[in-house]
A and B are shown apart, each in its own frame.
Chain A
């Protein structure tokens, strides 16, 4: 068994993670919607690393398809990494429930649906790793992105429960909380250079942390301390702040 399954494979973080794992000798299943747009990328990895890359169609919001998706994987993966994320628009989500729902469904429900299926298999096999990319935005709600943040908070809690449940089965569950990352998702934001990671740095951190069996990874590491401070600001003060 040599495959790692990467879902949400079209995101910049997922692409960097794919290259990182292929570089370290893993074959890849890349799953996403309209996955055929990743053909050139799959070839890129094959030329770089001589690893096998298989593209598989997956709609994370089509929950009923998830079991079939997983059953159809001929060789079950060693591990799964979810890079699914949808930032959406905070303002719109306040007035348009469809937008709020899409943010919640993509970031939380979709991952839960798929991870439940994989967790059951890994638990039975008593091996595997499951990595969910959540966000520092889930550590505390802020007016600028709390719909997204709340969905990521739910994901973080889910992953922590899953970690607790699968501990006995020796299945490793890791929560990744990236801070700012220079990606398509953030390309229009004015991010502070020193706090912004490149997708390649995030990928390297994820690989290293997974190999070490870490539970929660903040990347860049500085965010652990930033969030520690932000989480500890009393609500009385926090609610008046604009951060």
Chain B
């Protein structure tokens, strides 16, 4: 069948394989190559696309929960949203969560996702006690940082290229409210934005929405949102009715003018320099999940998300240069998210490093890949890297320069014959 990820580009003819038992999975791995595990299809690009995909989504059983330690044992196809539905009302939340709750646990591990608290809690792998994985030779292993460090470091962030994650044990964190005290700081330029981030370093959660079309003096102006859970004991968390974008928008719906208008309005919504809000979990963590199929706004040719990170030392200069190029090009997105990250971990291909990351959505249209290649050059110049689970076009060269441990990853794959079985369009393009 024709398959795509969240960016709706590319659309690929794939055979969808499902398994019930590990024996069936072993057989699938024995009989096929060019395999890649596929979860809920929320990575943006081609990291989960291949000739044959193994659909892990139906493996969605909860297995056990320890009320004392907060250790949750689930199958890999469980969505983060399902965990929240079951556990927020009981006073538990994910230690690390990305900006969407509609991803699977397997996907969260394979992308070693990060959230608004990366500067404090690190990546998702930090809350993973262990996971069960079937690797290329058909063996199913329990993997943990202590017992099998190489497999752990290769799999967390490894984009599904080490095997099929079947189950995971993850730690949840205790919360006493489903509400968050949010502080919004309005800044006028990139310098102020950086200062605000540094000033808020101690806050558990922080993220900035940046107006990437602002020019000159105003370049890098943002709304920085920080927050922490309240302690009012209000844990009544209910699934909200979603509004759906029913069809792909025509291509003229999203153009420079509409983005500019949106940014202008959004920015003006907040009048004061510093303001306080009480918001719920979904508003704070998952604003876009409230709109089903929001990717259709970008029309049927799809979108790509460009997310890069620069080391702290070069962040200011680098971001300034990148924002100037984007603002000059006139191509921008509704969503430009800036985030200060904490230290990098040891995983071979995890994205975060200590510095600033920026995520931008671009409609796929003529000239867009040229613009992104131009941005790549700046990212490389400032010693940054591109986030694989959002990517659909980065070159091998640019990718390699950003990930110093890529050779270790390649060697590990070769030694375990994983490279003969697990491949995605992306892995072939960037040579991993």
Residues of A within 8 A of B (CB): 23, 40-41, 43-44, 47-50
With the chains together, A48 CA to B60 CA distance in Å?
Answer: 11
What's the least CB distance linking B28 to chain A, in Å?
Answer: 16
* Contact assessment for A49 and B61 in the assembled complex, using a CB-CB cutoff below 8 Å: no
What's the least CB distance linking B300 to chain A, in Å?
Answer: 14
* Contact assessment for B85 and A44 in the assembled complex, using a CB-CB cutoff below 8 Å: no
* Contact assessment for B85 and A43 in the assembled complex, using a CB-CB cutoff below 8 Å: no
Which listed residue, A23, A47, A49, A50, touches B63 by the CB 8 Å rule?
A47
Which listed residue, B61, B82, B85, touches A40 by the CB 8 Å rule?
B61
Q: Is chain A's binding surface mostly helix, strand, loop or mixed?
A: helix
Closest to B61 in A: A44
Q: Does B199 contact A (CB under 8 A)?
A: no
With the chains together, A23 CA to B86 CA distance in Å?
Answer: 8
Q: Does B285 contact A (CB under 8 A)?
A: no
> A40: which B residues are within 8 A, CB to CB?
61, 63
* Contact assessment for A48 and B82 in the assembled complex, using a CB-CB cutoff below 8 Å: yes
Q: Report B277-305 residues with CB < 8 Å from chain A CB.
A: none
With the chains together, A47 CA to B64 CA distance in Å?
Answer: 6
Which listed residue, B61, B62, B85, B90, touches A23 by the CB 8 Å rule?
B85
> B229: which A residues are within 8 A, CB to CB?
none
Q: Does B65 contact A (CB under 8 A)?
A: yes
Of listed B61, B64, B65, B90, residue having the most chain A CB within 10 A: B61
**CB 8 Å contact bits of B78-97 with A (1 = contact, 0 = none):** 00001001100010000000
Apart from A40-B61, A44-B63: 10 A-B pairs, beta carbons within 8 A: A40-B63, A43-B62, A44-B61, A47-B62, A47-B64, A47-B86, A48-B85, A48-B86, A49-B86, A50-B90
> A43: which B residues are within 8 A, CB to CB?
61-64
Interface range on chain B (Cβ under 8 Å from partner):
10 to 19
> B63: which A residues are within 8 A, CB to CB?
40, 43-44, 47
> A44: which B residues are within 8 A, CB to CB?
60-63
With the chains together, A40 CA to B90 CA distance in Å?
Answer: 22
What's the least CB distance linking A71 to chain B, in Å?
Answer: 32
With the chains together, A230 CA to B427 CA distance in Å?
Answer: 49
Closest to B62 in A: A47
> A47: which B residues are within 8 A, CB to CB?
62-65, 86
> A23: which B residues are within 8 A, CB to CB?
85
What's the least CB distance linking A44 to chain B, in Å?
Answer: 4
> B65: which A residues are within 8 A, CB to CB?
47
With the chains together, A41 CA to B63 CA distance in Å?
Answer: 9
What's the least CB distance linking B14 to chain A, in Å?
Answer: 15
With the chains together, A47 CA to B62 CA distance in Å?
Answer: 6
With the chains together, A50 CA to B60 CA distance in Å?
Answer: 17
> A49: which B residues are within 8 A, CB to CB?
86
What's the least CB distance linking A51 to chain B, in Å?
Answer: 11
Q: Can you name 23 A-B residue pairings with CB atoms under 8 Å?
A: A23-B85, A40-B61, A40-B63, A41-B61, A43-B61, A43-B62, A43-B63, A43-B64, A44-B60, A44-B61, A44-B62, A44-B63, A47-B62, A47-B63, A47-B64, A47-B65, A47-B86, A48-B62, A48-B82, A48-B85, A48-B86, A49-B86, A50-B90
Q: Report B47-69 residues with CB < 8 Å from chain A CB.
A: 60-65
With the chains together, A49 CA to B82 CA distance in Å?
Answer: 11
With the chains together, A48 CA to B90 CA distance in Å?
Answer: 11
What's the least CB distance linking B216 to chain A, in Å?
Answer: 47
With the chains together, A41 CA to B59 CA distance in Å?
Answer: 11
> B82: which A residues are within 8 A, CB to CB?
48
What's the least CB distance linking B89 to chain A, in Å?
Answer: 10
Of listed A23, A43, A44, A50, residue having the most chain B CB within 10 A: A44
With the chains together, A48 CA to B82 CA distance in Å?
Answer: 8
What's the least CB distance linking A172 to chain B, in Å?
Answer: 24
With the chains together, A43 CA to B62 CA distance in Å?
Answer: 7
> A50: which B residues are within 8 A, CB to CB?
90
What's the least CB distance linking A37 to chain B, in Å?
Answer: 10
With the chains together, A47 CA to B73 CA distance in Å?
Answer: 9
Closest to B1 in A: A190
> B90: which A residues are within 8 A, CB to CB?
50
What's the least CB distance linking B126 to chain A, in Å?
Answer: 23
Closest to B72 in A: A47
**CB 8 Å contact bits of B253-265 with A (1 = contact, 0 = none):** 0000000000000
With the chains together, A75 CA to B48 CA distance in Å?
Answer: 48
With the chains together, A41 CA to B65 CA distance in Å?
Answer: 15
Rank and list the top 6 A-B pairs by shortest CB-CB distance, nearest first.
A47-B62, A44-B61, A48-B86, A44-B62, A48-B62, A47-B65
What's the least CB distance linking A62 to chain B, in Å?
Answer: 26
